[in-house]
């Protein structure tokens, strides 16, 4: 027990009294109704010592810092929760003007088309007839890093879509992972503080491999499922164009008859899923910090428009009530084998922004932007976001009139009685800035009025198994199962993907300097999979720690192939970028033939040579798209070489050329080559396998990764 200091009277108001942790006293640990950890001052401690007690900014002691105040165990979050509002309000205003999270982003314009009308499910205008379209703006982003960080860290990717419908803006603000770290919005500031740069030293940037993040994770078992995803290849995507998007939360559809169904939203990339490997992601960061931003821009600029199908999972309260998890829990997903994803639309991005700041930086997404026919659930994380985002946009953009910025403005008429404010650009006419009014009786414009028939009305039926007669800081007991879906995710992966997850955990935890934090995380992993925990412990060279008792014993769920990148597969060449290495004396006809084959298959050929100017080749002169030292193979999905014998011998003495093939081989990519290139491949240690082929076989083999090779090139946990 820490030594107690004398109580401080309220009249002594020194800065020392505001230092977190001063006067630290004994802490009693307990688990709440949802299995969440509470660290509270012991009952028999000296409660006169105010420095040890958690308070709000005005000195009010806080009884529960883990849960927001709800109308019933599974009810909506209450506006009267001043603890939640102050905590998030303070967090929202910590940075200006850069976003606190999702600071590094890339945006593009496009169009959404409804491909299947669903009036039986929703009265949402955009889904009433097949073929109906609306403009969209999409912003992809990393989460942890600042605006000046790199594109390829191991991180969640934001996937935010603004649909400019005829009924108003609908913002579907999600991620490339269908679940999240926390269950209650109350914990979001703590999560972000832990993963951001450590407060005393300002690093690491855009990385979760450090003490404070894993200390937080080890004490938050609810984050375990998300950690499985974050340590998987989903967190190091090949491209924004080749990753899924998810609405994360459970929403509702409401039809014209007032009947509602629960909904989960999915964006499925037409190009399929693809990731990098960790070594490749690190090298890409050095070769091109703007790799994913550039990839998106160049694809659209070249007319190779990326597209995603919008899918929905539809289910009712009876289904929800019979699941071993809670559908209002943002750390859980609904397996596609239980509720298949139905495709109802397609989004295509077809125009780059004209100005990065005016559009990508100033775009403001609000989860509260929904249209009639779509509604919220009582998900406590979603409920907190509905408050937080509006406040954040006011802080970032400096005015409540941020909706007048063109990228944020709806493309349908909007009329109300809101006036003035900083940066007002509209010029309202007349005296009507209130209602009710009778100005129309005098021939003046009386302004707009509410419409019960077509206006947004909250879904009235409270059928989410909630007792609204109580005000509680509590989580539903079903939220306490923190490991079943983490186990489901891990056991749904291929052996190779499981090795990647284990290796990622070893890498991240090797950066943690606190022994007890490493042990705690591995102890939690034993609830996910015993073999995984053993592999991580072995990789860290530590004894396998005791299993940490789960708040709710995990259950085994049937594996889901949809959770695996490698099982789902993807087209071979479409949307992929292939490098062709050549040098003086290379055969121009062979290069042209290969380039045409790649382009016919839907890929893009990129010519690489030791020099970028015109080079004399057999049959003419050829100019490269990129210089060898500045175009490493990590930037491409597959590589090929067309070389003359003397040039292959010369390049075998050049480190950049040897590394070019060494990395391609090590990252399990297809390598196509002519016979003359063999000395260079031998120098790089490239061994013949199903992915190292003659030029004539290249199109047949394609750009897929050859994971059977990986055990030859690196040790995995």
**Catalytic positions, written as ranges:** 102, 175
Within 13 A of 176's CA, how many CA atoms are on the CB side? 33
Q: How far apart are CA 66 and CA 58, in angstroms?
A: 19
Q: How far is CA 647 from CA 571, 609, 612, 616, in A?
A: 34, 11, 16, 12
Q: Where are the alpha helices (DSSP H) in 3-121?
A: 82-92
Give the Cα separation of 560 and 629 in Å (integer).
42
User: What is the Cα 685 distance to its own chain's centre?
Assistant: 36
CA distances, 347 to each of 114, 565, 645 (Å): 9, 21, 48
Query: Rounded to an integer, what distance in angstroms lies between the CA atom of residue 712 and that of residue 615?
Result: 36
- In a 10 Å sphere around its CB, with 0-12 CB exposed, 13-18 middle and 19+ buried, how is residue 597 labelled? middle
DSSP string, 379-440: -HHHHHHHHHHHHHHHHHHSSGGGGGSTTTS-SS----S----TT------SS--SSS--GG
- Beta-bridged to residue 300, according to DSSP, are none
Number of Cβ atoms within 10 Å of the Cβ of 623: 11
Collapsing DSSP to helix, strand or coil, 693 comes out as: strand
Crossing angle for the helix pair 211-218 and 188-195, to the nearest 10 degrees: 140
Peptide bond preceding 385: is omega within 30 degrees of 0, i.e. cis?
no
CA 310 to chain centre: 17
Strand order in the sheet with 638-642: 626-627, 604-609, 577-582, 638-642, 671-673, 692-694
Residue with tokens 């198994």, as numbered in its chain: 465
Please give the Cα distance from 240 to 360 (Å, whole number).
15
Q: What are phi and psi of 412, to 5 degrees?
A: -120, 165
CA distance 490 to 233: 12
DSSP string, 154-216: S--EEEEEEEEETTEEEEEEEESSSS-S-SSGGGHHHHHHHHSS-TTT---TT---SHHHHHH
Instruction: Report the residue count for the chain.
Output: 717
On the 0-12 / 13-18 / 19+ scale of CB atoms within 10 A, 426 is exposed
**What percent of the chain is helix, strand and coil (3-state, nearest 5)?**
30, 20, 50
State whether residue 481 is helix, strand or coil.
coil
What is the rounded distance in angstroms from the CA atom of residue 437 to the CA atom of residue 447?
9
Cα dist from 642 to 23, 254, 367, 639, 682, whole Å: 71, 59, 52, 10, 15
Which residues, 6+ apart, have CB-to-CB distance to 42 below 8 Å?
A: 25, 26, 27, 28
Residue 36, classified by CB atoms within 10 Å of its CB into exposed (0-12), middle (13-18) or buried (19+), is buried
Gap between the Cα atoms of 217 and 228, Å rounded: 12
- Dist. CA 278–CA 73, nearest whole Å: 42
* Nearest-angstrom CA–CA distance, 219 and 475: 17
């Amino acid at each position: 027990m820490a030594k107690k200091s004398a109580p401080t009277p309220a009249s002594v108001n020194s800065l020392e009294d505001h230092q977190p942790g001063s006067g630290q006293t004994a802490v009693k640990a307990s688990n709440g109704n949802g299995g969440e950890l509470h660290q509270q001052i012991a009952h028999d401690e000296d409660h006169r010592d105010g420095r040890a007690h958690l308070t709000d900014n005005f000195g009010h002691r806080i009884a529960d810092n883990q849960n927001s105040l709800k109308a019933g165990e599974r009810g909506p979050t209450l506006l009267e929760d001043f603890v939640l509002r102050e905590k998030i309000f303070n967090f929202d205003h910590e940075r200006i003007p850069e976003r606190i999270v999702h600071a590094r982003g890339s945006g593009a314009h496009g169009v959404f088309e409804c491909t299947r009308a669903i009036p039986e499910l929703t009265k949402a205008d955009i889904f009433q007839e097949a073929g109906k379209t609306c403009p969209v703006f999409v912003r992809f982003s990393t989460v942890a890093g600042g605006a000046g960080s790199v594109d390829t860290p191991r991180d969640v990717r934001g996937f935010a879509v603004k649909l400019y419908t005829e009924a108003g803006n609908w913002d579907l603000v999600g991620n490339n992972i269908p679940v999240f770290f926390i269950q209650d919005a109350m914990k979001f500031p703590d999560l972000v503080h832990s993963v951001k740069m450590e407060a005393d030293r300002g690093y690491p940037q855009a990385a979760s491999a450090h003490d404070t993040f894993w200390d937080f994770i080890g004490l938050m078992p609810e984050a375990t499922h998300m950690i499985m995803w974050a340590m998987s290849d989903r967190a190091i995507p090949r491209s924004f164009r080749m990753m899924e998007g998810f609405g994360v939360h459970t929403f509702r559809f409401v039809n014209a008859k007032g009947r509602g169904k629960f909904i989960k939203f999915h964006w499925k990339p037409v190009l399929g899923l693809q990731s990098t490997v960790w070594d490749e992601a690190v090298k890409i960061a050095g070769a091109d910090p703007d790799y994913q931003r550039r990839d998106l821009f160049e694809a659209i600029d070249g007319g190779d428009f990326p597209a995603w199908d919008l899918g929905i999972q539809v289910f009712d309260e009876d289904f929800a009530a019979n699941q071993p998890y809670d559908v209002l829990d943002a750390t859980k997903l609904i397996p596609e084998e239980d509720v298949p994803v139905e495709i109802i639309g397609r989004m295509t991005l077809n125009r780059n922004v004209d100005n990065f700041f005016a559009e990508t930086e100033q775009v403001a997404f609000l989860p509260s932007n929904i249209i009639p026919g779509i509604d919220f659930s009582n998900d406590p994380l979603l409920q907190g976001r509905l408050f937080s985002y509006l406040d954040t946009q006011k802080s970032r953009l400096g005015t409540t009139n941020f909706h007048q910025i063109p990228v944020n403005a709806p493309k349908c008429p909007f009329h109300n009685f809101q006036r003035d404010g900083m940066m007002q650009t509209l010029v309202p006419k007349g005296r009507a800035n209130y209602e009710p009014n009778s100005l129309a009786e005098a021939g003046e414009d009386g302004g707009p009025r509410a419409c019960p028939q077509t206006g947004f009305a909250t879904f009235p039926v409270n059928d989410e198994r909630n007792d609204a007669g109580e005000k509680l800081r509590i989580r539903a007991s079903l939220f306490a199962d923190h490991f079943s879906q983490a186990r489901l995710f891990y056991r749904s992966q291929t052996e190779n993907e499981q090795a990647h997850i284990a290796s990622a955990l070893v890498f991240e935890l090797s950066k943690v300097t606190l022994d007890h934090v490493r042990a705690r995380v591995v102890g939690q992993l034993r609830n996910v999979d015993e073999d995984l925990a053993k592999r991580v412990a072995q990789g860290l060279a530590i004894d396998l720690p005791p299993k940490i008792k789960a708040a709710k014993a995990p259950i085994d769920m049937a594996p889901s192939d949809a959770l695996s990148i490698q099982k789902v597969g993807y087209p071979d060449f479409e949307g992929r970028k292939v490098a062709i290495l050549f040098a003086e004396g290379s055969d121009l006809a062979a290069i042209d033939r290969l380039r045409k084959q790649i382009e016919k298959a839907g890929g893009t050929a990129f010519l690489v040579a030791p020099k970028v100017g015109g080079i004399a080749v057999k049959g003419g002169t050829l100019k490269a798209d990129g210089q060898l030292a500045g175009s490493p193979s990590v930037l491409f999905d597959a590589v090929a070489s067309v070389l003359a014998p003397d040039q292959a011998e010369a390049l075998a003495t050049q480190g950049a050329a040897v590394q070019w093939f060494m990395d391609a081989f090590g990252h399990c990519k297809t390598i196509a080559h002519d016979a003359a290139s063999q000395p260079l491949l031998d120098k790089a240690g490239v061994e013949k396998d199903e992915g190292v082929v003659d030029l004539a076989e290249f199109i047949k083999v394609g750009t897929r990764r050859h994971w059977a090779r990986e055990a030859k090139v690196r040790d995995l946990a």
